[in-house]
Amino acid sequence: MSGSITPVTRFERVGAHSHIRGLGLDEKLKALPVADGMVGQISAREAAGIIVQMIKKGKMAGRAVLLAGPPGTGKTAIAMGIARELGKDVPFITLHASEIYSSELKKTEVLMRAVRKAIGVRLREKRKVYEGELTHFELKTAKHPYNPYQEVAESARITLATSSESRSFTVSGSLASNMLAQGIRVGDVLQIDAETGRVIRLGRSENAAERYEIADYTEKPIPRPKGPVEKEKEFIYLVTLHDLDMMESRGRGGFFTIIFGGVAGGEIDSETRRRVDEYVKERIEEGTAEIIPGVLFIDDVSMLDIEAFSFLSTVLESELSPIIVFATNRGITKVRGADIEAPHGMPLDLLDRLLIINTEMYSRDEVREILKIRAREEGVPLSDDALEYLVDVGTSKSLRYAVQLLTPAYEKARVEGKDKVSKDDVEYVVSLFSDVARSIEYVKRYEEYMMR
C-alpha cells in the first residue's frame, strides 16, 4: 500500500449498545415502539420495566432475571436498559460465561470480581482546600542538581484571591512544577488540596477574561470563588467494591490512591474483602457513603458449570448483591459438571428463583428502525436503497451481520469520494465479508482437504 498515512485527529469508541438510554417506557410502564434507543420487544421491555420497579422498592432480594430468546434479539440491550433506568451512576458489568474458565484465576474468583465490580459505592469525603483566582505567581528557580546548564523550580510565591479575601503562600518546587506543566497562569481559578498538594485548574476567571486575551476561545470564563480562600469542601467519589478490594489488598490508604492506583495482581483473599465490607458499612452508618447496586449481565449462561451456579445462588442471598441478569439462547441442554439435562442448562433450584423474560425475532420494520439508529450512532449516512438492501440482509441473514456492514460500507463510499453509502457499496462489502452461514458452507467444501 503506497501513499501517506492520514493522521488520526480524534478517537471515538462506539460500542454495540452505546445508543441505549433506557427501556423506552411511558409513565404507565408501556413500551413505546421506538424510544431510548430501543426498538420492538414490547412485552420484554414492559416486563423489564416491572423488574426496575421491584428493584427500586427492594423486592428483588434472592431473585434474578433470565432473558431467553434467539440470538440478536436485544437481550444485552434490555439488560443495559434496566441499568440505565436505575440511574446514571449504576454500574453495568457484562460477563460472558466462558470467561470464568481462566488459567490465572479460580472460577469463583472471576465471578466474585464481576459481582463486586457491579456494586458501586458513592463516597463523600470532606477535605481542606485552598481555592481562588491566581493573582500573583512568582517563581524561584535553582540549578539542576545533575545539569548545571538547566534550571528547575525551587519554590514559588503565589497569591489566591476570592471575592472576600486574598492570601499569599510559599509553595514547594514540585507544586510549582505541577502548575507550570499544566500551563497555569495569572487569572486562572485554582483549587489546591491542603493535604496532598494536588493542583486542579478550574477555569479562567471572569475578571481576568476582561483584562487578558483568552488563549482558548472555546473556554467559558468562570466567576471568582466566594468566601474564604481556605475552606472545607465535600468531594464525591464513585468507586466499586472491587476498586476498594484492590486498594486494600495493596495496603495503601487514602482516597486518591483509588484514582491513581494500579490493578492488583493475583487473587484477593476473603479477609481483605471482609475488611472492605466492614469499612463500607461503617461509612454508611456515618452517612458518608452510599451503596449503589448495579447490574451484572451474564451471557450464554449455559456455559456455566454446577460449581458456578452454586456460587451465584449464594451471592443472591448475600447482603451485598447486584441485580443478576442471565441470558441464553439454548433450550434443554446438559448442565456442565453434572450428568443431568435441564431447561437452559441451569439447575432447577436456581431456575425456580428466576423471573424469565422471552425476547422475540424482530420484524422487517423493526430491523429498519434499528439500522437507522445504529447508522446515526456510528455516523454513517445511508441512501434509501442502501438502507432497504441492509434490511433485506438483516431479515434474511442476521441483524448483527447487517449492523456490522455499516462502517465497512461507509469506508468504501468515502474512498470513492461519496458522502453517502449507496446500495452498490453495501453489495460490495457483502461480497467481501461473509455471514456465518455462508462461511460455514464455504469451509465445508474443503473439509476433506483439512482432514488429511
pLDDT at 200 over 50: yes
CA pair distance 268, 248, nearest whole angstrom: 9
pLDDT at 219 over 70: no
User: Phi and psi at residue 136, in whole multiples of 5°?
Assistant: -150, 135
* DSSP code string of 166-220: EEEEEEEHHHHHHHHHTT--TTEEEEEETTT--EEEEEEBHHHHHHS--S-TTPP
> How does DSSP classify residue 70?
S
CA pair distance 333, 343, nearest whole angstrom: 6
Query: Domain 34-118+294-358, what architecture?
Result: 3-Layer(aba) Sandwich (3.40)
Q: Which of 69-73, 195-199, 244-248, 294-298 has the highest mean pLDDT?
A: 294-298
* Residue 41, amino acid: Q
Better-scored residue on pLDDT, 394 or 256 = 394
CA pair distance 232, 34, nearest whole angstrom: 47
In which element (H, E) is residue 298 found? strand 295-299
The domain 120-286 belongs to what CATH superfamily?
RuvBL1 DNA/RNA binding domain (2.40.50.360)
| Among the ranges given (171-180, 262-271, 282-291), the one the predictor scored with the smallest mean pLDDT | 262-271
* Residue 50, amino acid: I
State residue 255's pLDDT score: 45
| pLDDT band with cut points at 50, 70 and 90 for residue 263 | very low
* Residue 167, amino acid: R
Domain chopping of the chain, boundaries: 34-118+294-358, 120-286, 364-443
State residue 67's pLDDT score: 92
CATH code for the structural domain at 364-443: 1.10.8.60
CA pair distance 290, 239, nearest whole angstrom: 11
pLDDT at 261 over 60: no
Q: Mean pLDDT over all residues of the chain?
A: 81
Can you tell me the mean pLDDT for 414-422? 89
pLDDT at 343 over 50: yes
Q: Specify whether the CB–CB gap between 383 and 422 falls below 8 A.
A: yes
CA pair distance 345, 153, nearest whole angstrom: 66
Scan for cell 486574598, then name that residue: 166
| Among the ranges given (13-22, 418-427, 439-448), the one the predictor scored with the smallest mean pLDDT | 13-22
State residue 102's pLDDT score: 72
Can you tell me the mean pLDDT for 433-438? 84
CA pair distance 251, 256, nearest whole angstrom: 14
pLDDT at 4 over 50: no
State residue 66's pLDDT score: 92
Q: What is the Cβ-side half-sphere exposure of residue 426, based on CA atoms within 13 angstroms?
A: 25
Can you tell me the mean pLDDT for 356-379? 87
State residue 325's pLDDT score: 92
User: Phi and psi at residue 238, in whole multiples of 5°?
Assistant: -105, 110
User: Whole-prediction pTM value?
Assistant: 0.67
pLDDT at 14 over 50: no
